[in-house]
Chain A
Amino acid sequence: MPPSGPGSSNLLAVTSAEPPVVTFVDDVVAGLEANGYLPDEGLATAVFLALRLRRPLLLEGEAGVGKTEIAKTLARWTGGSLIRLQCYEGIDVAQAVYEWDYARQLLHLRTAEAVGRTSGSDEAVIEAELYSPRFLVRRPLLAAVDHGAGPPPVLLVDEVDRADDEFEAFLLEILSDYSVTVPELGTFTAEVPPVCVVTSNRTRDVHDALKRRCLYHWVDHPDFEREVRIIGLKAPEVPAALARQVAAATEAMRSMGLYKPPGIAETLDWAQSLTLLGASTLDARTVEATLGTVLKYREDQERVRSSGVEALVSEALQRGR
């Protein structure tokens, strides 16, 4: 992963190879904040417990509240590599755990044949060669379990609700004892379990057994002050006054009963677009012009327009003062 921002230069990564010491919840707050994530107390406690008790952390919440970002930040902070498994319907062992490199296996067979090794007693030897680690393609779950030395990786199982429930049962097995069995090779077991973050958008209920295994946190939209700080951290080019107004306006939008209330990603997009357009303060015309960066449904835009962009702006100016 390319280093991003001045805080994570290669030099720093080498010196902080030791995993951070986590004794208090405040250590987590400080660690995440130093790496660009501002958690509230609930989230910090959940992360703290996940690290201390070595349990997977299941995060549910609206799209765009920063569930995936937590895993990325954890990886930056702990120095472990981020291993991401994006779930989708029909995902299976070959895509999630391991697969054999069939093309290379075939090539290997043909080579063996060309040098005349395929006849007689060599057969067992060749089979053993074919199913050796050389030809094993490590997919995210195996890579997370068999991670070698160094700080444990951060395993992000993203949008687990999109996978089928059969896959969930399988995931549960791996998250329970952090081991993977490849029939041809044997069992891989993690000496130090990876840090596991499982996210769900709650399009369906995740199975109870998996929930029992995990710690759980429902990630909410940030409150006003936190959102202002997030904008300041993630988009430092946005003028402070504008940041407060944008946070106030999105907060107001979230209480309007929209189909898709804006998440943090939308807030950031909006603040950055406004800054690019040279706005230093909200006004009705620029809000109209940039509404598409915050609201992605036509009905939502209409609702905001019909309840009055002017009113929204003046309210935001008041609150953001």
Chain B
Amino acid sequence: MAAEHVPTLDRAAVAFVRSLRAAGLRIPVGSAITYLRALGEVGVGTRSATYWAGRATLVRRPEDIDRYDEVFRAFWSADEGAPSIVEPDTVQIAIAFDDAEDDDTDDDADTDDDAEPFDGPVLQVRFSDTETLRHKDFARCSAAELDEARRLMAELRLSGATRASRRWRASHRSGDPLDLRRTVRHALRSGGEPVRRVHRAHGERNRRLVLLVDVSGSMEAYSRALLRFVHAAIVGRTKVEAFALGTRLTRLTRELQSRDPDAALTRAADAVVDFSGGTRLGETIRTFNDTWGVRGMARGAVVVILSDGWDRGSPELLGTQMARLHRVAHRVVWVNPLKASDGYAPLARGMAAALPHVDAFIEGHSVASLEELARVVSAPG
């Protein structure tokens, strides 16, 4: 056992951690220290011991394994020259969100929506501007109007459909089961006689909300505005997950968690490498089903797909994947910004294949239509 490691090893290990950070892995200081201790335990005699010590202490998501492998290979291989730092292969995309009213969107981000006594469909939309803007198509908005629309969206709150929770709450109905813990407490005060009986019942919880946003080229006029809506949904309540659909699936939940909308959207844009590219709806939804949805994330959840339904892949695949999603989800809502245009019929082949597996099909081209979306999402049952 190599219990005492020389300072040069310490330095090399720290440099290795820095390379990993440069490659995009999130490694807190505590983990780096654990890594050093782990190296002390396994020794640095063999390459694989060093490799696995780092895998167990520095990597915390399977997505990071490839990057770890790359950096490890580059760093610890003597035959490949000096340690080099691997650049993350993300594409920088600037986002044109230059709104002046940054403060407005931020200051009431956490409103009193947690303490709502009424659990049914509640939508709080506060309007500071005219009704016209609410109904204006995002694609036809000027830059200033878009800013204002985004501000309206930041104030949208989704309360979500609920379901019975396992958690107990106090109940006043004598038909509900007894809360023995409280009853015993009270009995103590009345000489051991359970005079005052306390009842309890199951509470209610929000269902998980999963938002899948199409970021392909055909959705360009809408996807950035819709991402703002998704951000508002994530910040406004718990149990919301977001993904971008393009030629591949990108999970955005973490990126969009920041309360500052501009920072969140910039981070999201950095993560999505296929912004305004093509769409393979069937395949990306399949990836979603395989890696997240069917395993549990979509089970009993309200799944919202924001897409125009234009798909370069096979409509059969999209159909079967939508069917699969529909079988596990509580409700599947498809939001199509094109639905609002005059004479629209779901002729896109993908859209036609998906429709039989959709519970609600609504428009999503304006603030008012997103208000409708919030209402549908919150519908009970």
Contacts and interface: CB of A to CB of B under 8 A. Distances in A.
A23 B57 CA distance: 19
A110 B62 contact: no
Contact of B188 (A25, A63, A92, A130): A130
B191 A119 contact: yes
Interface in A9-61: 23-25, 41-42, 45-46, 48-49, 52-53, 55, 58, 60
Contacts of B294: 259
A225 interface: no
A49 B56 contact: yes
Interface of A: 23-25, 41-42, 45-46, 48-49, 52-53, 55, 58, 60, 63, 88-92, 94, 99-100, 102-103, 105-106, 109-110, 112-113, 118-119, 123, 126-127, 130, 161-162, 165, 201-205, 208, 211-212, 215-218, 259, 299
Given A203-B296, A218-B65, A259-B290, A48 B181 contact: no
Interface in B123-164: none
A109 B42 contact: no
B30 interface: yes
A106 B168 CA distance: 21
A13 to B, nearest CB: 28
Chain B binding site: helix, strand, loop or mixed by DSSP? helix
B229 to A, nearest CB: 22
Interface residues of B, number: 50
Contacts of A92: 166-168
A25 B49 contact: yes
B165 A90 contact: yes
List the 5 closest A-B pairs by CB distance, nearest first. A90-B166, A203-B296, A109-B192, A102-B180, A45-B52
A23 B60 contact: no
Contacts, number: 122
A62 to B, nearest CB: 9
Contacts of A63: 295
27 contacts: A42-B55, A45-B56, A46-B52, A49-B38, A49-B57, A55-B34, A58-B60, A89-B166, A90-B165, A90-B166, A91-B166, A92-B168, A99-B181, A102-B180, A102-B181, A105-B184, A113-B192, A118-B191, A126-B188, A203-B292, A204-B296, A212-B28, A212-B60, A215-B56, A216-B60, A218-B62, A259-B289
Considering residues A25, A130, A208, which has the most beta carbons from chain B within 10 angstroms of its beta carbon? A25
B375 to A, nearest CB: 26
A94 B181 CA distance: 10
A299 B53 CA distance: 40
B184 A106 contact: yes
Contacts of B59: 216, 218
B41 A118 contact: no
A91 B41 CA distance: 36
Interface in B315-351: 320, 324
A263 B34 CA distance: 32
B37 interface: yes
